[in-house]
């Protein structure tokens, strides 16, 4: 992707404490046309969102992470504070219970494939916010 095209790309924030999953999810979203920011826990994610919330169109987060809060709480805070951002929550251990996810958030199980991630991002993110590569 060219530097100019990358600068125009919508931003996604990927949050996971497992470095390999973080790299995998980042790669999938970059290949889909997003410019990706990363965090390894809820506190880091909130700090990134505070600085870049206007640009972040998608939050892709794990559920269980070290520190205070989890991915469900991060998803709720993101939806409440930055409602323009779509939310996808992923976990291999947890399933959302009543009240864990707001209506417009999506949950996927781990392990996930690039095809599954792209499908859920297309479904969760409004069409006008899809990066060009995700539209194809």
Kindly report, residue by residue over 22-74, the tens digit of the pLDDT. 999 999 999 999 999 999 999 999 999 999 999 999 999 999 999 999 999 99
Length of the chain: 136
Q: Identify the helix (H) or strand (E) that includes residue 73.
A: helix 71-81
Residue 2 has pLDDT above 70, yes or no: no
Residue 123 has pLDDT above 80, yes or no: yes
Whole-prediction pTM: 0.91
Say which residue, 114 or 8, is predicted with more confidence. 114
Kindly report, residue by residue over 93-111, the tens digit of the pLDDT. 888 888 888 877 899 999 9
Residue 2, classed as helix, strand or coil, is coil
Which pLDDT score is estimated for 98? 83
CB 12, CB 58: distance < 8 Å: yes
Which pLDDT score is estimated for 46? 98
CB 121, CB 86: distance < 8 Å: yes
Which pLDDT score is estimated for 4? 35
Which pLDDT score is estimated for 136? 65
């Amino acid at each position: 992707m060219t530097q100019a095209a990358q600068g125009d790309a919508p931003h996604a924030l990927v949050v996971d404490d497992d470095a390999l999953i973080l790299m995998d999810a980042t790669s999938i979203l970059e290949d889909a046309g997003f410019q990706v920011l990363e965090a390894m826990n809820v506190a880091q994610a909130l700090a990134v969102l505070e600085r870049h919330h206007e640009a972040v169109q998608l939050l892709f987060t794990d559920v269980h992470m070290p520190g205070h809060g989890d991915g469900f709480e991060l998803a709720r805070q993101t939806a409440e504070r930055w409602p323009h951002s779509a939310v996808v929550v992923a976990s291999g251990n947890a399933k959302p219970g009543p009240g864990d996810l707001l209506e417009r958030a999506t949950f996927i199980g781990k392990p996930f494939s690039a095809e599954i991630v792209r499908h859920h991002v297309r479904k969760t993110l409004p069409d006008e916010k899809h990066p060009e590569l995700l539209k194809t």
